[in-house]
Amino acid sequence: KNEVEQSPQNLTAQEGEFITINCSYSVGISALHWLQQHPGGGIVSLFMLSSGKKKHGRLIATINIQEKHSSLHITASHPRDSAVYICAVGRGNQFYFGTGTSLTVIP
Amino acid sequence: DAGVIQSPRHEVTEMGQEVTLRCKPISGHNSLFWYRQTMMRGLELLIYFNNNVPIDDSGMPEDRFSAKMPNASFSTLKIQPSEPRDSAVYFCASSLAGLVFTDTQYFGPGTRLTVL
């Protein structure tokens, strides 16, 4: 059983669409991270959340601790947003990763 | 800032050979992480250090894997002897301070290891 589940696994959107990626986890956590992995393989940390909501440009991340659920939203999507988005949670000395959501934004 | 530096970027070796991957964290960062990424298993945490001390190595797959951090600016991940199933991309990441997984992590570009 995976401690972290992401949905959808794959997502194709038209440029300009609003996108939501979901992450559910089964353990109590200290923090949740959203990562972006570019087609070239590099990994960038987008957000680190322990409660509430964070916004950076067109990206918004929310977390509901009681429901053990987080969402990553992309407003006005653009082809350069095409990447794999990975949810990860920290718990004690462990760090658990979701399997990622592969996003393709078509011009 | 140069970011997290990893070397080599690509490594091709034959089964049974020793492999050493290197990482230089961002200056001033106190935590360093080694990850492995494969198609089958995705990203996995292998080991992490805080203030140069290994905190948790439960993710290290076998005794063939070892990691060291002799000082704040350098870490190595060694595989001896290497096997084809060790083929993966190995990432190093560092974070500034505080509780280990409640800080933003900065990832290196990764080392793509192929064991023939």
In tens digits, chain A (107 residues) has pLDDT values of: 578 999 999 999 999 999 999 999 988 888 999 999 998 889 999 999 989 999 999 999 999 999 999 999 999 999 999 999 999 998 887 889 999 999 999 99
Amino acid, single-letter form, for residue A30? S
pLDDT digits (tens, 9 = 90+) for B85-96: 999 999 999 998
Q: Which of B97, B60, A97, A60 is nearest to B106 (CA)?
A: B97
pLDDT at A100: 94
CB contact under 8 A, B55 and A90: no
Dmax over Cα atoms in chain B, in whole Å? 40
More confident residue, B14 or B55: B14
Arithmetic mean of pLDDT, B22-33: 95
Q: What is residue B99's predicted lDDT score, i.e. its pLDDT?
A: 60
Please check whether residue A47 is in contact with residue B102, taking contact to mean a CB–CB distance below 8 angstroms: no
CB neighbourhood size of A81 (10 A): 18
What is the mean predicted confidence (pLDDT) over B88-113? Answer: 88
Interchain pair A88, B43: CB under 8 A: yes
Look at residue A8 in the predicted model and tell me its pLDDT: 97
Distance from CA of A41 to the nearest CA of B (A): 7
What mean pLDDT do residues B54-82 have?
94
Q: What is the DSSP letter of B9?
A: S
pLDDT at residue number B70: 96
Angle at the Cα of B63 (from B59 to B66), degrees rounded to 5?
Answer: 70
pLDDT value for B97: 64
CA B67 to CA B55: how far, in whole Å?
A: 12
Return the DSSP state at A5: E
Interface of A with B (CB under 8 A): 30-31, 33, 35, 41-45, 48, 50, 86, 88, 90-91, 93-95, 97-100
What integer is the mean pLDDT of B72-84?
Answer: 96
Residue pair A17/A58 in contact (Cβ under 8 Å)? The answer is: no
For A78, half-sphere exposure in the C-beta direction (CA atoms, 13 angstrom radius) is 4
Of A89 and B2, the one with more pLDDT: A89
Q: B77, B20 in Cβ contact below 8 A?
A: yes
pLDDT at A41: 84
Angle at A4 between CA B53 and CA B32, to 5 degrees: 20
pLDDT of amino acid B113: 98
Q: Is B75 left (phi over 0), alpha (psi -120 to 50) or beta?
A: beta
Q: Residue B98 — very low, low, confident or very high, per pLDDT cuts 50/70/90?
A: low
Which CA distances in Å does B51 have to A76, B27, B60, B69, B70?
Answer: 42, 12, 19, 9, 10
pLDDT value of position B20:
98
